[in-house]
Amino acid sequence: MNKTWGPTPVALGRARFALWAPDRRAVSLETRDGPLIEMAAEDDGWFVVEADAGPGTVYRFRLEDDLAVPDPASRAVTGGVSGWSVVVDEESYAWRTADWRGRPWHESVIQELHVGLLGGFAGVAKRLDSIAALGITAIELMPIHAFPGARNWGYDGVLPYAPEESYGSPDELKALIDRAHQLSLMVFLDVVYNHFGPEGNYIGQYASSFFRKDAETPWGGAVAVDREPVRRFFFDNALMWLRDYRVDGLRFDAVHAIENDEFLDALAHEVRQTLGPERHIHLILENENNDSDRIGPGRYDAQWNDDFHNTMHVLLTGETDAYYRDFADRPAPKLARSLAEGFVYQGHGSLNRGGRPRGKPSDHLPPTAFVSFLQNHDQVGNRALGERLTLLTSETKLRAATALLLLSPQVPLIFMGDESGSESPFLFFTDYRGELAEAVCEGRRREFVSFPAFANPETRMRIPDPNAKSTFDRSKPLPGPNAASWLDLYRRLLAIRRTKITPHLVGARSKGTDAVGDAAVLARWQLGNGTVLSIAVNFGDDPVTFPPVHGTVIYAESLAGSPDSVVAWLASP
């Protein structure tokens, strides 16, 4: 029998339950209002039982040493990640956009959101009208699966099938997605398949082989995706979000930590084969290895391009610590390569890897195979004090960078608050208790020992405690003092992108890029209709001379110290 994690309806008011627990000799199903029901031991460590259990049934599994655990494939939980699982009626929600088929990938303009900071699923839904009116075409939700406590980035989740209880119910999540589709907004979801969080993960107590004994990730035990039950756990999770919740795509977090390319390829194949071509389904990778082999038709649509961000950050701020070391030398040529070819590191030696090569050639890929950004949850939140670029560079340079981001053919991603010039920090936050809370706080501060600003214990105490509620509250993205000006800039740039650039992105390719001096670039792309898009931008303090503009200027902004700091134009080939 093909084993499927989680409850499966078999008749009205009746469900089949299955748990892979190869380390155990006996497992029972326990409902809150009924007796223990012994589950049948089947082949390969599975325990299975059918029972009367309609929607709303509260249940968990009891192991032979009297340990009670929630279903790791719970579709909902009550009482937190150590509480009870809840049977959910997947058909109960009445979709208003049942005919929604999504949008093509090249139309994507993405905004990354943290659901908890924005008031849960209902709070995000209230913001969708203004998001769509700005010109954004997709929202990307940071991980929403259940985690311990009431506050978390989402990357410490332990029940990947269950929407976080404090954010709202499964139907409230569906209502959010439904409303987005009414506004022609796509919804992408960030999922974490490389590790589980440190609290509330009980799988290792009954299925130790779910995890690899020969590998660890920076966040915990690596998952053993070469085992069929483990692989099935994640395949079915991806299909659940795409099928039952009708999300338009998934962003897979830190897949380099999975260390199994065959699993990634098989996952993409399973999604494509199961859901077919009727909908636009988009799959996006975060892969520190710059592995261009995973991207292409029938596989993954795109990868987050950290190289673009890192190069831009050096140009905008002058910071060269930590992972910015690889981008400190001659950043303008590196930006030129990123705009033309996607990855900066395509097999080049990396200082951060002790000189070892990083990446594979990417110049054969279209510009839309790369998701570019100036900020995201990682790049802001992994700073000790969570500062945004509004506090790290000049407004004039940041406006020029925003124009480059939103007008270049790569798929742009903006972080919540960027559009309003927010100066609120985005800090790392959790909600642990006791020894784990102390360990997380100390570990967070220890991360920055090598940074000169936090070299001594006294200065490290300035780093906020991740578990303090004030850390969470401070991270809410309040509009900045020049919010109206920033909103106007984003609205104008996205209107230009929508009318002049997006319709011709299919078939776009680089026509070459040039570094102009130490901090300026001139980039050209031939769009699908033959028109050439050119963008000249200067991030330096000294004026530079660009070639004369031949064509129709679609955007220009004169910035202090340079009359032609950013200009974009279209011309016949």
Residue numbers annotated as active site:
253, 286
**Strand 46-52 to 40-41 pairing:** antiparallel
Q: What 3-state DSSP class applies to 45?
A: helix
Which residue reads 């150590």 in tokens? Answer: 82
| Sign (positive or negative) of CA dihedral 490, 492, 494, 497 | negative
Q: What 3-state DSSP class applies to 255?
A: helix
List strand residue ranges (DSSP E) for 75-231, in order: 77-78, 84-86, 110-113, 138-141, 145-146, 159-163, 186-191, 211-217, 220-223
Q: What is 496-539 written as a DSSP string?
A: HIIIIIGGG-TT-EEEEEEE-TTSEEEEEEE-TTSPEEEEEEE-
* CA distance linking residue 122 with residue 101, whole number of Å: 23
Give the distance from CA 56 to its chain's centroid: 31
* CA distance linking residue 296 with residue 394, whole number of Å: 38
**Strand 84-86 to 77-78 pairing:** antiparallel
Q: Please check whether residue 298 is in contact with residue 269, taking contact to mean a CB–CB distance below 8 angstroms.
A: yes
Comparing CA positions, the residue from 514, 497, 572, 498 lying closest to residue 340 is 514
* CA distance linking residue 506 with residue 530, whole number of Å: 11
User: Measured between alpha carbons, how far is residue 35 from residues 340, 495, 500 in Å?
Assistant: 64, 61, 65
Please count the other Cβ atoms lying within 10 Å of the Cβ belonging to residue 98: 9
